[in-house]
Amino acid sequence: MGLAITALSLVPRPPADTQCYRLKSRRVFASGGTRIHIATAEAGPGGGRDRPGSVGGIVRVHSRTGGGGADALRSFSHGGHLTKAVIVSCVLLASMGASAYAENCAGLPNEADLRSAMNASASATAGGLFNGARMWAAVVNRDGELCAYVTSTVDPTRVWPGSQAIAKAKAYTANAFSLSTFALSTARLYTFTQPGHSLNSLGQSNLFDSSLLAPPDGTSGGRNQIAGGLIFFGGGVPLYKTTPNGKVIIGGLGISSDTSCTDHEIAKRVRNVLNLNPAGGATADDIVYSPPDPPSVFAHPVCLNTYRNGTFIGNEAPATYPFVPPAP
């Protein structure tokens, strides 16, 4: 169900039941089950960093599910006056099932899509510890806003809790460093970000916002917000749609809860199941292992019980502590 809205005026002072939030560089007014995203805003008289002032610009409106709270948005102080009406042209999408899919997530998989694709992708040739059967998945749009997150199991407590943040950060990373003409999986960033290589400090540029994590029951969790975070091992891939002008990037997918090699294998398979591959196909940004592949700046370490595209690659090298150099 959808409802077209052609114009909306905000009264000089928001209603008493309206909450005002800051979302990155945007202002967000929330009332009941609807949020109004103002893409451009400037503080006028009585406004300021923590108070709304004069506002103007294009906005997006979408529904919110669940009631109670505002999806972990950070509240800031009320006060000030809205001195201009906001003219909007947007679409209000009704809540469907477990999540509200707004216009900014159009074309991307929802939670049901992700769970189905993850379960279809798990197999012995995924390798790792669990053959890809216990996974977190997350999807962001091209703006980096979180659109969906879910576990492959109905009970999320059967999956590593720590992997929720990793999946969200992988999705953000894959989207952040890919283009319509250049797909870059997180696996291919491993070598670049190691000590002595050209992007070693990249991980400090955009830290993950842990306030945007969901408890095991799945409520809240930062949907429609930018959690950020950068991850440089396997499990994140960019997502593409097909247009008359070719493939266009629309977001990123992050998978986590097994070895990083298996995470990549499942992410690649999920993207393929959902028909969201880049122009070069499912393996355009595939993980690189050297050996058996030639030396490469895109190389990624081999993990425990590693498979690639159905072929067994090997196992992570064992270590000793304290370190004992191998015999010549």
Residues 143, 219 share a domain: yes
Q: At 156, give phi and psi (nearest 5°).
A: -65, -15
Residues 83 and 193 in one domain: no
Residue 168 forms part of a structural domain = yes
Percent of the residues in the chain that have a pLDDT greater than 90, as a whole number = 57
69 and 126 belong to one structural domain: no
**Is residue 284 a part of any domain in this protein?**
yes
Domain that holds residue 16: 1-95
pLDDT of residue 206: 84
Smallest CA-to-CA distance from 307 within 134, 124, 163, 133 is with: 124
In a domain, 100, yes or no: no
Mean pLDDT across the chain: 76
- The last residue of one of the domains, among 95, 119, 140, is 95
**Who's near 110: CB < 8 A, 6+ residues apart?**
97, 98, 99, 101, 147, 148
Residue 54 CA to residue 239 CA, distance in Å, equals 37
- How far apart CA 119 and CA 197 sit, in angstroms, is 37
Domain count, the chain: 2
- Is the same domain home to 152 and 33? no
Q: What angle do CA 249, 252, 257 make, to 5 degrees?
A: 155
For residue 5, give both structure tokens.
């809205």
Q: How far apart are CA 181 and CA 166, in angstroms?
A: 26
| pLDDT tens per residue across span 170-209 | 999 999 999 999 999 999 999 999 999 999 888 888 888 8
- Concatenating the DSSP letter of every residue in 173-224 gives HHHHT-BTTB---GGGGTGGGSTTSTTTTGGGSS---GGGPPPTT---S-TT
22: pLDDT strictly greater than 90? no
Query: pLDDT digits over 94-152, tens only?
Result: 333 334 445 789 999 999 999 999 999 999 999 999 999 999 999 999 999 999 999 99
Q: Is residue 320 part of a domain?
A: no
In a domain, 226, yes or no: yes
- Asked if residue 274 belongs to a domain, the reply is yes
Tell me: do 73 and 187 sit in the same domain.
Answer: no
Q: Which of 129, 108, 127 lies closest to 254 in space, CA to CA?
A: 108
Do 187 and 301 reside in the same domain of the chain?
yes
pLDDT digits (tens, 9 = 90+) for 54-106: 333 333 333 333 333 333 333 333 333 332 333 233 233 333 333 444 578 99
Task: Name the domain boundary from 95, 113, 138.
Answer: 95
Residue 30 confidence class, pLDDT cut points 50, 70, 90 = very low
66 lies in the same domain as 159: no
Q: What is the pLDDT of residue 320?
A: 82
Residue 115 shares a structural domain with residue 232 = yes
Residues 141 and 91 in one domain: no
pLDDT of residue 246: 95
Regarding whether 237 and 279 lie in a shared domain, the answer is yes
Q: How far apart, in Å, are the Cα atoms of 297 and each of 34, 219, 301?
A: 47, 40, 12
SS3 of the chain: helix, strand, coil, percent, to 5: 20, 25, 60
Residue 302 confidence (pLDDT) above 70: yes
Q: What is the dihedral of CA 9, 23, 162, 140, to 10 degrees?
A: 70
Q: Is residue 288 part of a domain?
A: yes
pLDDT class for 217, splitting at 50, 70, 90? low
- In the beta sheet, which residues pair with residue 51? 48
Q: How confident is the model at residue 41 (pLDDT cuts 50, 70, 90)?
A: very low
Q: Is residue 189 part of a domain?
A: yes
88 and 136, same domain (yes or no): no
The domain boundary, picked from 95, 124, 158, lies at 95
Position 241 scores a pLDDT of 97
Contacts of 317 (CB under 8 A, 6+ apart): 302
Instruction: Specify whether 91 is located in the same domain as 21.
Output: yes
- CATH label of the domain that carries residue 274: 3.30.450.150
